Amino acid sequence: MKYLDKHPIKLNESFKNTNEEILDFFIDYYDEDPNNFKIEDVLLYDNKEVKKVSPYLKEPSKYKKAKLVTVKVDKPSGPLYNMSNFSNSLETLQNILSDLERFYDITDEEVNYKIVTDYTGVKIQFLVVGDVVSNDASKVKVIDELLKEFKNMYVKRGFRPSTRGNWVEIKTSAKKSWSGYGDYSIDLRDLWNRIINGQITLDNLPMERYRDLVEWFNKVTSNNLSVETLGGDHQFVIRLK
């Protein structure tokens, strides 16, 4: 369904209420515009901080699976201030607070919500919290080993990669890219995006020197992990998630 923002990591913990049951409480907002309602899988760390879902969890017992629910309730048309508009209606806010109160009364969920205002309008965000994450949801050892292999591949290529958690950073200094535009980090991102997108495979190797990179990528995906490329000027970052 369109309102679900799913993540490939499966934590296998149960919730008191399914996504469909949560949607039922706010169906009027969804029927008005499907973009008004979104459920995103997140993690609640130590009951204090909401974090993105990740397989890199060093202390799984401190994490609970959670759902971050966002309901857009109004597109204000009042005077503009700090990139957002004032609202002219109290009824809109009263209605969503009544719906939220009813949701908590019936579902027995713990109250965790906030009101967000930005240039897109007024939104309510709230948490639905599930069970503690199981130990097998964490892939710290697997990721550490894979990133060690990745780092060694680029040490042999003359770089000095550094590892931080579930990502590796490569500084490219001022070395020019093959195209002549920008620095060499552009070439690294382009190469890895082509591997990730399936343009470079073991059956379609433009150069033999890419073989170990593709084999490493295949090992990552065989462990049900994905690769993300990041970075900026003179910086290339690869992250496993």
Residues 55-73 have pLDDT tens digits of 999 999 999 999 999 999 8
User: How far apart, in Å, are the Cα atoms of 70 and each of 104, 118, 219?
Assistant: 15, 13, 36
Report the b/e string of 47-63 with b at 16+ CB within 10 A. eeeeeebbbbbeebeeb
Q: What is the pLDDT of residue 75?
A: 83
User: 175 pLDDT band (50/70/90 cuts)?
Assistant: low
Model pTM score: 0.75
| Pair 11, 130 in one domain | yes
Q: Residue 14: its pLDDT value, please? A: 61
Same domain, 63 and 182: no
| Cβ 57 vs Cβ 116: under 8 Å | no
> Of 136, 170, 193, which residue is a domain's last?
136
Distance CA 76, CA 81 (A): 11
Residues 121 and 235 reside in one and the same domain:
no
Q: Which domain holds residue 187?
A: 139-240
Would you say 106 and 35 are in contact if contact means Cβ atoms under 8 Å apart? no
Last residue of a domain, one of 92, 117, 136: 136
Q: Are residues 107 and 25 in the same domain?
A: yes
Query: What's the number of domains the chain is made of?
Result: 2
Is 151 found in the same domain as 56?
A: no
Is the pLDDT at 7 greater than 50? The verdict is no
Mark whether 146 and 109 lie in a shared domain.
no
